[in-house]
Amino acid sequence: MPGRPKQAHSGKVTLADVATVAGVDRSVVSRVLNDDPRLNVRQETRQRVLDTIERLGYRPNAAARSLRTARAYMFGLFIPDFANPVYAEIIKGAEQAANQLGYGLMTASSGGVRLGLQHYLDLLGQSRVDGLLFAGEESGHELERLRSASVPWLLVNRRIEGSRRYVVLDDERGSGLAVEHLAALGHRRIAHLAGPESADTARRRRAGYIAAMAAAGLRAGARYTAHADYTPEGGAGAMRELLAVRPRPTAVFVANVASAVGALRTLHEAGLSVPGDVSVIAMHDMSLAGHLVPALTTVRMPLEGLGRRSLELLATTRPQDDITEVVAEPVEVVVRASTGPPSA
């Protein structure tokens, strides 16, 4: 029979505590924690152990566990830039999933430390991380080295030619919702402040913009598209390009919230009213969007869900498995003050 639930534990909860409360042997708790496929117990017993672990707040000794299993119980997440607020949401979701699975998460930026992929290959070779998530700009050649070494890795919200290991967002749908929102307000000259032409995310968002413009019976001419990196500086420069087009667009769909910050600054410096002269909507919703002037209308994408699902798949699949998953929900327009009908 299961032991009686304990009151709040005054010290560190041990494996023996979990075993006593769950009414099982210590070895059963250990094998449940390590997801041992050879463990033959009833599902209700396994669930009772997991519930007890959660209720008591038990955390295994990572160092001892690593010695027993030859695992580091640590994953790596490689991002391009910590300054881009989008990645903070992805990191948050990945950390949540890692914690629930009993792992840690090490995050690094190619734009910050500039260690490069070789540094992480070295960590893998030293068994200091068990797998890598890539949200940066690694090439197929670099990732082929991981593939040939049977190292667990996964692309996060990007695809490269020949890769069958990625988890992405439904960027086409998000772009479509942005255009539909602007068209419903009466806009006909809708420009696109796009991301870098080399970025997979930018290509998918542009494809969604073009498809939605066609569906609304609107033209998406090349002169109404300006490319920029995902930074405020890039957005500011691209917005200046779009303001030089005649007739001037009455609305702009921006591919990234960081770029939109710069776009709003350029519009302000040009003496234009948002949304009186130009409406602005951006991909990705951040808390900062509501504090801009004017508050920025956005398309909310499941960034936390993307990070969480990517980590889960990395931890629970084999290096040779194909993973081609789209995290599709929730995607929705968050209407704020930066969009409105075009002026007469």
pLDDT tens-digit map of 7-38: 444 467 888 889 999 999 888 888 887 777 77
pLDDT at 118: 60
Instruction: Evaluate whether residue 4 is within a structural domain.
Output: no
Model pLDDT for residues 178-234, shown as the tens digit of each residue = 999 999 999 999 999 999 998 999 999 999 999 999 999 999 989 999 999 999 999
The whole-number pLDDT of residue 82 equals 80
41 with 138, same domain: the answer is no
Query: Is 285 part of any domain?
Result: yes
Looking at the structure, tell me whether residues 215 and 161 fall in a common domain: no
Residue 320: per-residue pLDDT:
81
Identity of the amino acid at 230: Y
The DSSP 8-state label assigned to residue 149 in this structure reads T
CATH code for the domain in which residue 52 is found: 1.10.260.40
Residue 8 lies in a domain: no
140, 163 Cβ separation under 8 angstroms = yes
In a domain, 178, yes or no: yes
Same domain? For 195 and 183 the reply is yes
Q: Same domain, yes or no, for 37 and 73?
A: no
Say how many domains are in the chain: 3
- pLDDT value, residue 148: 59
Query: Terminus-to-terminus CA distance in the chain, angstroms?
Result: 77
Q: Are residues 154 and 219 in the same domain?
A: no
In-domain check, residue 151:
yes
Residues 129 and 193 in one domain: no
Res 117: pLDDT: 57
In 3D, which of 111, 90, 226 has the Cα closest to residue 169?
90
Beta-bridge partner residues of 74: 104
Q: Using alpha carbons only, what angle is made at residue 335 by residues 329 and 340, rounded to the nearest 5 degrees?
A: 140
Same domain, 142 and 187: no
Give 61 or 244, the one with higher predicted confidence.
Answer: 244
Check whether residue 278 and residue 316 sit in a common domain: no
Task: Report the chain's mean pLDDT, rounded to a whole number.
Answer: 86
Q: Is the domain of 271 the same as that of 177?
A: yes
Residue 278 included in any domain: yes
Q: Give the pLDDT band (50/70/90) at residue 264.
A: very high
Does any domain span residue 5? no
Look at residue 9 in the predicted model and tell me its pLDDT: 45
Reported as type and span, the H/E element at residue 325 is strand 323-327
Q: Could you tell me if 198 and 228 lie in one domain?
A: yes
Decide: helix, strand or coil at residue 266.
helix
Tell me the residue range of the domain where 266 lies.
171-302
Residue-wise pLDDT tens digits, 149-183: 566 889 999 888 777 889 999 999 999 999 999 99
Q: Confidence class of residue 95 from pLDDT cuts 50, 70 and 90? A: very high
CATH number at residue 152: 3.40.50.2300
Is pLDDT of 1 > 80? no
Residue 9 lies in a domain: no
Q: Which of 136, 142, 150, 162 is nearest to 76 (CA)?
A: 136
Is it the case that residue 124 has pLDDT exceeding 60?
Answer: no
pLDDT of 46 higher than 80: yes
Q: Cα(279)–Cα(281) distance, rounded to whole angstroms?
A: 7
Which domain-ending residue is among 60, 87, 115?
Answer: 60
